[in-house]
């Protein structure tokens, strides 16, 4: 039984042994000489030396050939021709036929139809069609006009893929890339980056830690703490997909856009940037922060659209808007901001709190600049309410109101059409409320000092009544539409009511 098994194994393995025999290197030269060195028999070749092995033709000025180890060392004017598709050059060559590996040293070049690779040393594996360097190299593309340098590199000549590691620097007329690891496919011009990377184009600087570029389709995907800096914006996100042809970028995860020209920051979970229109859209858990030396205002909304062109800077805040600031707070459906005209328009049921005043109307427009409120305009159903104590409130109402501010405090109110006022006078020493004053007039100017109505100038015939507060009862006196609104956070405003 044992003899039979050995016989079977012999005949099974015999073909493998015969087929697996290593092919010997063939050679030719004008001169040759046999020597023995350290118990090795070597053949010294010189002048027009040519080696052939598998599909490789190798030329040199001189060489020492070790027939026993099927290897040789070649010197000067090294040239290797691989199937006429790849050529290698160098000052010296160590070639091992059994391993089918070539080790080139000094002024090494690898040339294909597409690229030229230069290095001080190179290993070429003929079995797997791979070229390696470990001590610095440079690759230039003939037609694409780019150069890539790195400490470590590998070139797969089968699929035309280049691998770069450590101190990778890609230079192109349109952009530059500095990275830890870069993979480039010459056939389809796709680039993959791994590790901390900096990309600089003619119009932007980009930081990321992972991604890919498709130079043919002009698309890219960047991931890992992405930062894109242009002459107008700083753009941060977890990931960004960019289409250079149409100038569109889509961002996802912790999106943040900083616009220094308008002193604003917009954050959210998703973002979109259109280079052609120079517009930005941010949504989901969205927040815009406007900052300056006087005030910092935070605006919460379902989404923001920011447009920054040569003519004007506009910001649109859509749905469930909440404003939180040191000078101004508010609640409305949407806001339109035009920074060129310093206009902030609050629309759909706006409620604004400035100092001690609650302001409401169908639409409220503010003129502001760098945190300072200069004036406001209410087109319809405007009302300003100022709390005196828990039961008494000064109230100013009209179809059209125009307010003027000093140091962010209401100073003057112009009332046009159906003006109505209720205000209370106080004891100058005790601040105790003494009288209620109720006035109606089509047009009037109301002067306010420290949130107290100081003077009223009537532009048409007024009607009014003054009476002691004792006659009003504890509840005070109120105009139609009077309501004190509670400030809500964005989370409170958008919370979905829970069922019973």
Q: Is 34 exposed, middle or buried (0-12, 13-18, 19+ CB in 10 A)?
A: exposed
Residue 497: the pLDDT is 66
| CB 90 within 8 Å of CB 63 | no
pLDDT value of position 12: 37
Among 379, 330, 372, residue whose Cα is nearest residue 350: 330
> Which residue is listed with tokens 């160098």?
90
The residues of the chain scoring below 70 in pLDDT are 1-21, 293-295, 371, 474-475, 497-500
DSSP-derived secondary structure for 55-118: TEEEEEEEEEEETTTTEEEEEEEEEEEETTTEEEEEEEEEEETTTTEEEEEEEEEEE-SSEEEE
Residue 339, pLDDT score? 83
pLDDT at 294: 66
Q: Please give the pLDDT value at position 276.
A: 83
pTM of the shown model: 0.76
Which residue is associated with the tokens 């890339």? 177
Which residue has tokens 């960019």? 242
- Predicted pLDDT of residue 330: 93
Written as one string, the DSSP assignment of 182-238 is EEEETTTTEEEEEEEEEEEESSEEEEEEEEEEETTTTEEEEEEEEEEEESSEEEEEE
CA–CA gap between residue 138 and residue 163 (Å, rounded): 12
**Cβ burial 101-112 (10 Å sphere, 16+ → b, else e):** bbbbeeebbbeb
Tens of pLDDT, residues 279-335: 899 999 999 998 775 667 899 999 999 887 777 788 999 999 999 988 789 999 999
Q: Which two tokens stand for residue 205?
A: 């600087």
- Location of structure tokens 């517009």: 279
Reported as type and span, the H/E element at residue 4 is helix 2-19
- Give the residues across from 424 on adjacent strands: 436
Instruction: Give me the long-range contacts of 169-174 (CB less than 8 A, separation at least 24).
Output: 170/146, 171/146, 171/147, 172/144, 172/145, 172/146, 172/147, 173/145, 174/201, 174/202
Report which DSSP code applies to 319.
S
What pLDDT was estimated at residue 11? 37
Tens digits of residue pLDDT in 353-394: 988 889 999 999 999 877 678 899 998 899 999 998 888 899
């Amino acid at each position: 039984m044992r003899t039979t098994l050995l016989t079977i194994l012999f005949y099974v393995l015999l073909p493998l042994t015969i087929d697996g025999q290593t092919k010997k290197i063939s050679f030719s030269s004008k001169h040759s000489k046999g020597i023995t060195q350290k118990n090795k028999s070597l053949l010294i070749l010189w002048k027009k030396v040519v080696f052939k092995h598998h599909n490789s033709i190798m030329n040199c000025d001189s060489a020492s050939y070790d027939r026993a180890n099927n290897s040789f060392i070649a010197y000067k004017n090294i040239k290797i021709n691989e199937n006429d598709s790849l050529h290698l050059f160098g000052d010296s060559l160590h070639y091992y036929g059994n391993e089918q590996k070539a080790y080139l040293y000094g002024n090494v070049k690898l040339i294909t139809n597409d690229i030229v690779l230069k290095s001080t040393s190179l290993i070429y594996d003929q079995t797997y069609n791979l070229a390696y360097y470990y001590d610095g190299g440079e690759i230039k593309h003939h037609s694409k006009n780019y150069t890539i340098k790195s400490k470590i590199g590998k070139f797969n000549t089968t699929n035309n893929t280049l691998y770069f590691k450590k101190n990778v620097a890609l230079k192109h007329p349109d952009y530059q890339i500095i990275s830890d690891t870069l993979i480039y496919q010459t056939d389809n011009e796709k680039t993959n980056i791994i590790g901390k990377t900096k990309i600089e184009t003619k119009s932007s600087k980009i930081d990321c830690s992972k991604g890919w570029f498709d130079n043919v389709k002009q698309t890219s995907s960047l991931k890992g703490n992405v930062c894109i800096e242009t002459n107008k914006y700083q753009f941060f996100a977890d990931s960004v997909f960019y289409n250079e042809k149409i100038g569109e970028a889509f961002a996802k995860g912790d999106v943040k856009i900083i616009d220094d020209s308008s002193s604003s920051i917009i954050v959210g979970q998703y973002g979109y940037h259109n280079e052609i229109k120079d517009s930005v859209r941010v949504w989901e858990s969205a927040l815009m922060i406007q900052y300056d030396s006087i005030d910092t205002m935070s605006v919460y909304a379902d989404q923001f659209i920011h447009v920054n062109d040569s003519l004007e800077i506009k910001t649109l805040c859509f749905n469930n808007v909440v404003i939180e600031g040191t000078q101004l707070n508010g609640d409305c459906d949407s806001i339109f901001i035009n920074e060129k005209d310093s206009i902030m328009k609050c629309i759909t049921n706006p409620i604004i709190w400035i100092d001690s005043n609650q302001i409401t109307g169908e639409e409220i427009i503010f003129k502001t600049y760098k945190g300072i409120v200069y004036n406001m305009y209410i087109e319809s159903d405007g009302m300003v309410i100022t709390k005196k104590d828990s039961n008494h409130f000064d109230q100013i109402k009209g179809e059209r109101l125009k307010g003027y501010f000093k140091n962010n405090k209401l100073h003057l109110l112009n009332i046009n059409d159906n003006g109505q006022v209720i205000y209370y006078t106080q004891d100058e020493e005790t601040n105790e409320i003494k009288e209620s004053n109720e006035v109606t007039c089509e047009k009037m100017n109301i002067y306010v000092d420290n949130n107290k109505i100081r003077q009223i100038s009537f532009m048409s015939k007024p009607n009014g009544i003054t009476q002691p507060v004792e006659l009003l009862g504890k509840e005070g006196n109120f105009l139609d539409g009077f309501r004190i609104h509670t400030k809500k956070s964005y989370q409170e405003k958008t919370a979905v009511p829970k069922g019973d």
